[in-house]
Structure 1
Amino acid sequence: MAGESTGVSTRVWTVPNVLSMLRLLLVPVFLVLIVQGQYVAALVVLVIASFTDLLDGYIARHFNQVTRLGQLLDPAADRLYIFAALIGLAAQGLVQWWIVVVIILRDVMLIVLAIVLANHGYGPLPVHHLGKAATFALFFGIPVIMLGLAFPAVQPVSEPIGWAITLWGAFLYWWAGIIYAIETARVIRIPRVSGPAASDTLDEGG
């Protein structure tokens, strides 16, 4: 495939990046709709965001449009939708604030780890599959909770399922965070050598 030969691009204005930017612009709309209790409309926005997420990933991989900016925007959008949903629901007393704090603190920890790595001359660690699973669980569980709020008839079923998935996702989220912390501690102990060699050493740790 063409993308494999040219690697990651530094381009900004690609179709996937534009889709990611549009998805980010919908985050405040999503938050306002939740705060206003318009759960059906909020779910529609979330469905649109999820579709564009799948679409930009497909386009990036199959049309050689993988970019460094896209690698930053895509996970950022996922996290912002999770944060917006939790904050909006917590503001209405539908979610305990401690859940919001627990999830946000984990990402604060990752920012600190990234700073530590940068100070030692390394880039971000490779994304762990556990982190992907945790994000997926949160991104799936929270909308299931919202589904019950939008359609009360299904709430007796959707609410316990949604909470089970969300709490499991929060647990995996921190589990992955602990793995990143352990890996960061291991990497910064590796003697720093020349650029390419150091990069290879870090990649092996993923």
Structure 2
Amino acid sequence: MTEQAQDDAVSTRILTVPNLISFARLAMVPVFGVLIATGRDGWAVVVLALSGASDWLDGVLARRLHQVSRLGQLLDPAADRLFILVTLVGLAWRGVVPWWLLVVILARDVVLGLMLIVLRRAGYPPPQVHLAGKAGTFMLLYAFPLLLLGGWDSWVGTLAQIAGWAFALWGVGLYWFSGVLYLRQAAGLLRRREGEPA
């Protein structure tokens, strides 16, 4: 097997180093939820930063150790979505971000969730992750700790709030842009299926 083929191979293994990191990241979600709900913003920022770093690390290790797995392909985006959801609900509840931001981001996930159901019924796997989707997710995950720091009554808070909203708005744009790409990819697969002979 060539090195490229090894890189592209997707295993059914469960106990891999990247999967263990993803499990740990999932376990941090309720911890983060409690911290943000109780106003312990300093620790919440630390947990969110660790989550972002581990998200990058598990992807790098999966490729370098040739441990890309189907479970990992499910766990990684699931942890991202849960962190985004819990963070948005907590920040919106505390009035740090407006509720429309939560609605806009959740609407994209609902649309893509329906798309995945249609693809699965047609016998297709989920589409490959686009760089735009990853970039949008990273921007959102980095926007939230900055928006939390934006509550500080100092020049640091002011700069953090400006940078946080820049990351958030660009993140939302890329999040929806990738969503459109996924929808176009799914539509192409379904059109191709309709054109196949019975």
**Following TM superposition, by how much is the alpha carbon of 1:47 offset from its aligned partner in structure 2, in angstroms?**
2.1
> In the TM superposition, what is the alpha-carbon distance from 1:127 to its structure 2 partner?
1.6
1:85 and 2:123 equivalent? Answer: no
Identity between Structure 1 and Structure 2 (%): 47
* 1-structure distance, mates of 2:55, 2:4: 19
Q: Which 4+ runs in 1 deviate beyond 3 A?
A: 1-4, 191-194
Task: Tell me, yes or no, if structure 1 residue 108 matches structure 2 residue 110.
Answer: yes
Q: Report the alpha carbon displacement of residue 2 of structure 1 after superposing the two structures with TM.
A: 5.4
Contact 1:120 1:188 in 2 (8 A): yes
Q: Scaled by the length of structure 1, what TM-score is found?
A: 0.85
TM-score, scaled to structure 2: 0.89
Q: Structure 1: which 5+ residue stretches go unaligned? A: 195-206
Aligned equivalent of 2:6: 5
- Report the Cα distance in structure 2 between the residues aligned to 1:3 and 1:53, rounded to whole angstroms: 23
Cα distance in 2 for partners of 1:172, 1:50 equals 17
Aligned residue in 2 for 1:152: 153
Counterpart-to-counterpart distance in 1, 2:16 and 2:130: 26
User: 1:129 & 1:64 partners in 2: Cα distance?
Assistant: 20
Q: 1:169 aligns with which of 164, 168, 171?
A: 171
Report if the CA contact (8 A) 1:3-1:61 is conserved: no
Q: 1:133 to 1:54 in 2, by over 3 A?
A: closer
Shift in Å, 1:139: 1.5
- Matched residues in 2 for 1:58 and 1:171: separation? 25
Question: Contact (CA 8 Å) 2:22, 2:79: kept in 1 or not?
Answer: yes
RMSD: 2.0
**Would you say how many aligned residue pairs link Structure 1 and Structure 2?**
193
Deviates more, 1:36-45 or 1:185-194: 185-194
**Aligned residue runs from structure 1 range 127-206, under 5 A:** 127-149=129-151, 151-153=152-154, 154-191=156-193
Aligned to 1:19: 21
Structure 2: tracts of 5 or more residues without a match: none
